[in-house]
Structure 1
Amino acid sequence: MAAVTETLPGAPTTGTGEGERRGRDRFHRGALRWVLLVVSAIVALLMIAPFVIMLLNTFKSPDDYSAHGPLSWPHEFYTHGLKVFWDRVDFPVKLWNSIWTSGLVAIFGVALSLLSAFAIGIGRVRGRLWIVGVFLLANMLPQEVLIYPLFRMMQDIGLNNSGWSIVLIFTVIQAAFGTYLLSSVLGTFPRALLEAASLDGANRWQILWRVVFPVVRPTLSVLLIFFFIWTWNEFFIPLVMLTTNDTQTVPIALASLQGDRMLDVPTLNAGTLVSLIPTLIFFLFFQRTLTRGITAGAVK
């Protein structure tokens, strides 16, 4: 005999309708995830494509490039372009100049940003809003406006054609941004924590290094990485300030490969690849620090 089930009027219904709705929601969420995954993969490929093309043209001879174009596979493993770039621009000297100038700018810029932001955000100096506005305005000024007075200033103090001119200029420029950022962060620092440290006998210097610095250290690590990369990529001011081969940096070395009437594309790609490797290593080495700094700042 076949069992017949009836649903009495007013009896509670089963969870079939709710289960179907949950199934549909799960299906839509799963479909949305696949769409986002496909879009992310396409964006990633578009971002990687220029680097792949650069890598192909690095190991391609000039004749091969002229005959088959930039998108073809190299017909031979051509490494002479790397040697030409290395010898023509004296790359080890350029690399060292970029490393020590960018490193000092990152360290000095972060230190100056912390001290200035501590005075503005926690010290509560008079005219705090006006000072922060000046720092914001300094970040908006184009380098073309600053180049002439900066060049004359470096000449007057005897630092023309010296890497120290780059260190001084970009320490101030980067510290302007760092001060603007940190002053807003320290302006919301818990006053109760500062008052407790003062009651325990801590002076201003001890409050800075034992109370404030541990809290903002993740943000400082992010600024350190950004200041290094930003200074490394600078071109216009170093091009004007540094006039000889023994003081110039990596971006200027790349620009020297471009002539008035001829451009050796494989050599330029080889130089770009060699110049990209140090910054890539630096980013991979500090990637965890950057991630922790951003997430810690978001949590705080």
Structure 2
Amino acid sequence: MTRSLPKYAVLISFVVMAVVVLFPFAIIALNAVKTSADYSANGPLSLPEAITFDGIIDFWNRVDYTEKLFNSFLISASVAVLAVLLSVLSAYALGIGRVKGRLWVLVLFLIANTLPQESLIYPLYYLSKEAGLYDTRLGIIIILTVMQAAFGTYLLSSVLSQFPREIIEAAAIDGAGRWYQLWRMVVPISRPTLSVLLIFFFIWTWNDFFLPLIFLISNDGQTVPVALGLLQGEKLMDVTTSSASALLGIIPAIVFFLIFQRTLTRGVTVGAIK
């Protein structure tokens, strides 16, 4: 009995933490299905007298949420795939190819990762204007792909630098070229790490608010976080509609995590090189 006490203590601690984390989401969900009169009469912590989806429908129609979901998914998926692809190509040259000045290139990528987004706004704004990509989904995809790939390159290059040289040399002796070595040997072995990067890039891009706010000013190009942020400033929106917007804003992220949680866990556990 004495030995089992620490186990029960850990279990109770996890239950308390889960309640603390889930409580705000439960409050948001309850208020999202209330009427304004119900909220005013009974407060935010009471159960709804009758479940209504008027707040959710009002928010959905007000911001054209279907379009915002499509924009966010298109931008996030494109950035995740392109950033991983660019990171693999760059990290292969730096980690396995061992190009000249490799250390200085990695330092440059490290510095790029530490720069705040605010310091990059003016040059990115000017370049996107000159290239005719301002206020386009393609423009924000290019910008976020390069920024995410800077982190991916720095991470993957350190991982691939530990790749067994004997495998590469044996493949080269058998006549395998660089392209074959990359896609048939390096990428399959590094798939867990690449899967984790893909998930992180998607989530980071989905949650990004500042850059899409600056570079997607048209209503038909806005993402979900931008639409939520702009709508929160409207004085005419009541509390139930605000709760509905918050609920619809977090549901996609939760669904995405539930779908890919096994991949994420396996990727972190297995590592890149077995």
After TM superposition, the score normalised by the length of structure 2 is 0.95
Q: Which has the higher contact order (CA 8 A, sep 6+)?
A: 2
Cα drift, residue 295 of structure 1: 1.6
Counterparts of 2:184 and 2:26, CA distance in 1: 47
The residue that corresponds to 1:12 in the other structure is none
Residue 69 of structure 1 and its aligned partner are, at CA, apart by 2.3
Native 8 Å contact 1:257 1:264 kept in 2: no
User: Structure 1 CA distance, aligned partners of 2:196 and 2:246?
Assistant: 25
Q: Report the alpha carbon displacement of residue 287 of structure 1 after superposing the two structures with TM.
A: 2.0
Instruction: Quickly say closer, same or farther: Cα 1:146–1:29, change in 2 above 3 A.
Output: farther
Identity of aligned residues (%): 55
Q: What is the aligned partner in structure 1 of residue 140 from structure 2?
A: 166
Match of 2:199 in 1: 225
Q: How many residues align structurally?
A: 274
Indicate if the aligned counterparts of 2:34 and 2:240 stay in contact, CA closer than 8 A. Answer: yes
| Residue 73 (1) aligns with residue 47 (2) | yes
Give the corresponding residue for 1:188: 162
Question: Partner amino acid for 1:171?
Answer: T
Residues 246-292 of structure 1 deviation map (CA, whole Å, 9 limit, x = unaligned): 11111111112223645522112112222322222222222222222
Q: Structure 2, unaligned stretches of length 5 or more?
A: none
Distance in 2 separating the partners of 1:246 and 1:261? 22
Q: Which runs of 5+ in 1 are unaligned?
A: 1-26
Quote the Cα distance in structure 1 between the aligned partners of 2:175 and 2:111.
38
Structure 2 Cα separation of the partners of residues 209 and 146 of structure 1 = 34
> Contact (CA 8 Å) 2:36, 2:239: kept in 1 or not?
yes
Question: What letter matches 2:104 in structure 1?
Answer: W
User: Which position in structure 1 is the counterpart of 2:223?
Assistant: 249
Partner Cα distance (1:68, 1:180) in 2: 53
C-alpha distance 29-200 of structure 1, shift in aligned 2 (>3 A): farther
Over the aligned positions, Cα root-mean-square deviation in angstroms equals 1.5
Cross-structure match for 1:215:
189
Is 2:87 aligned against 1:142? no
Residues 95 and 157, structure 2, Cα contact 8 Å, conserved in 1: yes
CA separation of 1:166 and 1:28: change in aligned 2, threshold 3 A: farther
Residue by residue over 1:24-52, the C-alpha shift from the partner in whole angstroms, topping out at 9 and shown as x without a partner, is: xxx54311111111111111111111111
What secondary structure is seen at the aligned counterpart in 1 of 2:107? Answer: helix
Determine the C-alpha separation between the residues in 1 that align with 2:145 and 2:18: 34
CA contact (8 A) 2:193 2:272 kept: no
Aligned counterparts of 1:188 and 1:299: Cα–Cα separation in 2: 8
The Cα offsets for residues 58-85 of structure 1, whole Å up to 9 and x where unpaired, read as 1122232233322121122121101110
Asked if structure 1 preserves the Cα contact closer than 8 Å seen for 2:38 and 2:48, the reply is yes
2:96 aligned partner: 122
The letter of the residue matching 1:281 is V
Q: Matched residue of 1:294: which SS?
A: helix
Q: Which runs of structure 1 show a deviation greater than 3 angstroms over 4 or more consecutive aligned residues?
A: 260-263
Instruction: Find the aligned partners of 2:91 and 2:195 in 1 and give their Cα distance.
Output: 15
1:246 match: secondary structure? helix
Residue of structure 2 in register with 1:92 after alignment: 66
Contact 1:239–1:252 under 8 Å retained in 2: yes
Distance 1:215 1:299, change over 3 A: closer
Using a 3 Å threshold, how does the CA distance of structure 1 residues 298 and 226 change in structure 2: closer, same or farther?
A: same
Structure 1 residue 285 corresponds to structure 2 residue 259: yes
TM-score, with normalisation over the residues of structure 1?
A: 0.87
1:5 is matched with none
CA deviations over 1:109-136 (Å, ceiling 9, x no partner): 0000000000000011112121111111
Look up the SS of the partner of 1:76 in the other structure: coil
Aligned position for 1:14: none
1:23-34 pair list within 5 angstroms: 27-34=1-8
The separation in 1 between residues aligned to 2:41 and 2:214, in whole angstroms, is: 37
